[in-house]
Amino acid sequence: MKDLWIERGERDLCRHLTFSVQSGELVRIAGENGAGKSSLMKSILGWLHFAEGTLEFNGEDVTQHRDMLLQNQLYLGHTPGIKNVFTALENLKLYCPDAAEDDLEQALVQVQLGAFADTPAAQLSAGQKRRIALARLWLTDKALWFLDEPFTALDVKGVEALEKRMSEHLSVGGAIVITTHQPLLNLSPKVIELAA
């Protein structure tokens, strides 16, 4: 990201922001509520417009054509995006239609939902719904992850499982951009601070 300038209404969320994300690197976008962390992430992905700046991926300018970036990234947002009428397994299958049933079931086991595979999401807690969404991280081959407040509604075991999976991804050359208000227990990110 080079010289990004993002405006929202009358306010600059960032101006002349430059940073990079390398293979094997965890980057945490930090700031108070309303500072623009999610907006920055969505601007990088092309879902929100930025006033100025360029975006490069693997040395290619993708400011106007983000297809190459989007093909290599996985985004998990604030809300889990779970369909209440579907079971945990059906929800995961909806997002990972090409995955084998055994792989889907194993991903649910990784997030401590193996016993809830056939339970409708409407009967699950907020934390369990969040875990369904996070199970995609055990199924993806995408190199670049954008995780917006991924620890929301997770208990200690959920946080530990997610941090372990993030560490595994980084160890094989993956990269992660994350927003979170929670301290990372076992990971040391590079921090990009946004002012409120």
User: What pLDDT shows up at residue 101?
Assistant: 94
State the pTM of this model: 0.91
Q: Which residue, chain included where needed, has tokens 């929301």?
A: 152
- Of 8-22, 83-97, 100-114, 117-131, least confident by mean pLDDT is 8-22
Average pLDDT over residues 170-191: 89
Contact 9, 48 (CB under 8 A): no
pLDDT of residue 196: 62
pLDDT for residue 163: 93
Distance of alpha carbon 88 from alpha carbon 6, whole angstroms: 37
**Mean pLDDT of the region 75-84:** 89
Question: Cα-Cα-Cα-Cα dihedral of 105, 124, 178, 95, to 10°?
Answer: 50
Q: Is 44's pLDDT higher than 80? A: yes
pLDDT over 80 (residue 65): no
- Judge whether residue 107 has pLDDT over 80: yes
